[in-house]
Chain A
Amino acid sequence: MRVRRSAPGRPVLRRTAALAAVSALTMAATACGGGSSTGDEGSNKNPGTLTYWATNQGSSLEHDKKVLTPELKKFEKETGIDVKLEVVPWDSLLDRILAATSSGQGPDVLNIGNTWSASLQATGALLPWDAKNLKKIGGKDRFTPSALAAAGAEGKPPAAVPLYSLAYGLYYNKQMFKDAGIAKPPETWDELVDTGKKLTGDGKYGLAVEGGNPVENAHHAFVFGKQHGADFFDSSGEPTFDKPANVKAVKQYVDFLASDGIAAEGNAEYAKNESVRDFATGKAGMLLWQAAASSLKSHGMKPDEYGVAPVPAQSADASGERAVNTMVAGINLAVFKNTDNLDGALKFVKFMTSTEEQKALNGTYGSIPPVKEAQQDAAFSTPDLKVLRDVLANSSAPLPQVPDESKFETLVGTAMKELFAEAASGKSVSTGTVQERLTEAQQQMQK
Chain B
Amino acid sequence: MTTLDTPRAGSPAPPPPEPPRTRRARLRVPARVRRAGLPYLLLLPALLLELLIHLVPMGVGIVMSFKELTQQYIRTWGDAPWSGLDNFRVAVDFDAPVGEALLRSFGVTCAFTVLAVGLAWLLGVTAAVLMQENFRGRGLLRALFLTPYALPVYAAVITWSFMLQRDNGLVNHVVHEQLGLTDSPPFWLIGDNSFFALVVVAVWRTWPFAFLILMAALQNIPRELYEAAQVDGAGIWQQVRRITLPSLRPVNQVLVLVLFLWTFNDFNVPYLLFGKAAPESADLISIHIYQSSFVTWDFGAGSAMSVLLLLFLLLVTAVYLLVTSRGRKHDG
Q: Which residues of A contact B (CB under 8 A)?
A: 1, 3-10, 12-14, 16-18, 20-37, 91, 94-95, 98, 101-102, 104, 119-120, 122-125, 212, 214, 264-266, 268-269, 271, 403, 406-407, 410-411, 413-414, 417-418, 420-422, 424-425, 440, 443-444, 447
- Report yes or no: B277 in contact with A30, Cβ–Cβ below 8 A: no
**Cross-interface CB contact of B75 among A124, A421, A440, cutoff 8 Å:** A124
Set of chain A residues within 8 Å of B253, measured between Cβ atoms: 17
CA distance A180 to B314 in the complex (A): 65
- Report yes or no: B293 in contact with A31, Cβ–Cβ below 8 A: yes
- Report yes or no: A30 in contact with B290, Cβ–Cβ below 8 A: yes
Tell me if B94 counts as interface (CB < 8 A to partner A): no
Tell me if B21 counts as interface (CB < 8 A to partner A): no
- Report yes or no: A25 in contact with B3, Cβ–Cβ below 8 A: no
CA distance A29 to B289 in the complex (A): 10
- Report yes or no: B310 in contact with A3, Cβ–Cβ below 8 A: no
- Report yes or no: A9 in contact with B5, Cβ–Cβ below 8 A: yes
- Report yes or no: A25 in contact with B313, Cβ–Cβ below 8 A: yes
> A31 to chain B: closest CB distance in Å?
4
**Cross-interface CB contact of A16 among B12, B166, B299, B306, cutoff 8 Å:** B12
Set of chain A residues within 8 Å of B166, measured between Cβ atoms: 265-266, 269
Set of chain B residues within 8 Å of A264, measured between Cβ atoms: 167
Q: Name the CB-closest residue of B to A119.
A: B71
- Report yes or no: A3 in contact with B4, Cβ–Cβ below 8 A: yes
**Cross-interface CB contact of B12 among A20, A26, A35, cutoff 8 Å:** A20
- Report yes or no: A119 in contact with B275, Cβ–Cβ below 8 A: no
Interface residue ranges of B246-295 to A (CB < 8 Å): 246-247, 250, 253-254, 257-258, 261-262, 265, 267, 275-277, 279-280, 286, 289-291, 293-295
Set of chain B residues within 8 Å of A28, measured between Cβ atoms: 261, 265, 306, 309-310, 313
- The answer to whether A3 and B2 touch (CB under 8 A), given A26-B54, A34-B74, A34-B77, is yes
- Report yes or no: A23 in contact with B54, Cβ–Cβ below 8 A: yes
Q: Name the CB-closest residue of A to B101.
A: A444
Tell me if B29 counts as interface (CB < 8 A to partner A): no
Tell me if B31 counts as interface (CB < 8 A to partner A): no
CA distance A19 to B274 in the complex (A): 33
Set of chain B residues within 8 Å of A120, measured between Cβ atoms: 71
Tell me if B38 counts as interface (CB < 8 A to partner A): no
Can you spell out 19 A-B residue pairs with CB atoms less than 8 angstroms apart?
Answer: A1-B229, A1-B232, A3-B2, A14-B321, A28-B306, A28-B309, A30-B290, A31-B302, A31-B305, A32-B58, A32-B64, A34-B64, A34-B74, A36-B77, A123-B75, A212-B189, A214-B277, A406-B295, A413-B277
> B199 to chain A: closest CB distance in Å?
18
Tell me if B201 counts as interface (CB < 8 A to partner A): no
> Could you say which of B98, B165, B191, B258 has the most chain A C-beta atoms within 10 Å of its C-beta?
B191
Tell me if B243 counts as interface (CB < 8 A to partner A): yes
Set of chain B residues within 8 Å of A22, measured between Cβ atoms: 314, 317
CA distance A7 to B5 in the complex (A): 9
Tell me if B132 counts as interface (CB < 8 A to partner A): no
Q: Which residues of B contact A (CB under 8 A)?
A: 2-5, 11-15, 50, 54-55, 57-58, 60-62, 64, 70-72, 74-78, 90, 96-98, 101, 165-167, 187, 189-192, 225, 228-229, 232, 243, 246-247, 250, 253-254, 257-258, 261-262, 265, 267, 275-277, 279-280, 286, 289-291, 293-297, 299, 301-303, 305-307, 309-310, 313-314, 317, 321, 325, 328, 331-332
**Cross-interface CB contact of A424 among B187, B280, B295, B296, cutoff 8 Å:** B187
- Report yes or no: B190 in contact with A420, Cβ–Cβ below 8 A: yes
Set of chain B residues within 8 Å of A36, measured between Cβ atoms: 76-78
Set of chain A residues within 8 Å of B275, measured between Cβ atoms: 91, 212, 271
- Report yes or no: B331 in contact with A123, Cβ–Cβ below 8 A: no
Set of chain B residues within 8 Å of A27, measured between Cβ atoms: 54, 261, 265
Set of chain A residues within 8 Å of B307, measured between Cβ atoms: 29
Set of chain B residues within 8 Å of A31, measured between Cβ atoms: 61, 64, 289-290, 293-294, 299, 302-303, 305-306
Q: Is the interface of B mostly helix, strand, loop or mixed?
A: helix
> A410 to chain B: closest CB distance in Å?
5
Q: Is the interface of A mostly helix, strand, loop or mixed?
A: helix
- Report yes or no: B294 in contact with A32, Cβ–Cβ below 8 A: no
- The answer to whether A16 and B13 touch (CB under 8 A), given A5-B3, A27-B54, A212-B189, is yes
Set of chain A residues within 8 Å of B62, measured between Cβ atoms: 29
> A436 to chain B: closest CB distance in Å?
11
- Report yes or no: B96 in contact with A407, Cβ–Cβ below 8 A: no
**Cross-interface CB contact of A5 among B4, B187, B317, cutoff 8 Å:** B4
Report the 5 A-B pairs with minimum CB-CB distance, sorted nearest first. A16-B12, A32-B61, A26-B54, A32-B57, A421-B190
CA distance A413 to B228 in the complex (A): 66
- Report yes or no: B277 in contact with A422, Cβ–Cβ below 8 A: no
> A28 to chain B: closest CB distance in Å?
5
Set of chain B residues within 8 Å of A32, measured between Cβ atoms: 57-58, 60-61, 64, 303, 306
- Report yes or no: A102 in contact with B77, Cβ–Cβ below 8 A: yes
> Could you say which of B64, B77, B166 has the most chain A C-beta atoms within 10 Å of its C-beta?
B166
Set of chain A residues within 8 Å of B309, measured between Cβ atoms: 28
**Cross-interface CB contact of A403 among B5, B71, B76, cutoff 8 Å:** B71
**Cross-interface CB contact of A101 among B4, B60, B74, cutoff 8 Å:** B74
> A113 to chain B: closest CB distance in Å?
14
CA distance A406 to B325 in the complex (A): 49
CA distance A194 to B16 in the complex (A): 79
Inter-chain pairs besides A27-B54, A31-B305, 12 sampled, C-beta below 8 Å: A3-B4, A5-B4, A14-B325, A28-B261, A30-B265, A32-B60, A119-B71, A264-B167, A410-B277, A410-B295, A414-B277, A443-B98
CA distance A239 to B276 in the complex (A): 22
Q: Name the CB-closest residue of B to A442.
A: B97
- Report yes or no: B191 in contact with A421, Cβ–Cβ below 8 A: yes
Q: Name the CB-closest residue of A to B294.
A: A95
**Cross-interface CB contact of B261 among A24, A91, A94, A417, cutoff 8 Å:** A24
Set of chain B residues within 8 Å of A421, measured between Cβ atoms: 187, 190-191, 279
**Cross-interface CB contact of B331 among A5, A33, A406, cutoff 8 Å:** A5
Set of chain B residues within 8 Å of A8, measured between Cβ atoms: 5
- The answer to whether A98 and B332 touch (CB under 8 A), given A26-B54, A36-B78, is no
**Cross-interface CB contact of A447 among B74, B90, B297, cutoff 8 Å:** B90
- The answer to whether A21 and B257 touch (CB under 8 A), given A6-B4, A124-B75, is yes
> A47 to chain B: closest CB distance in Å?
24
CA distance A94 to B297 in the complex (A): 10
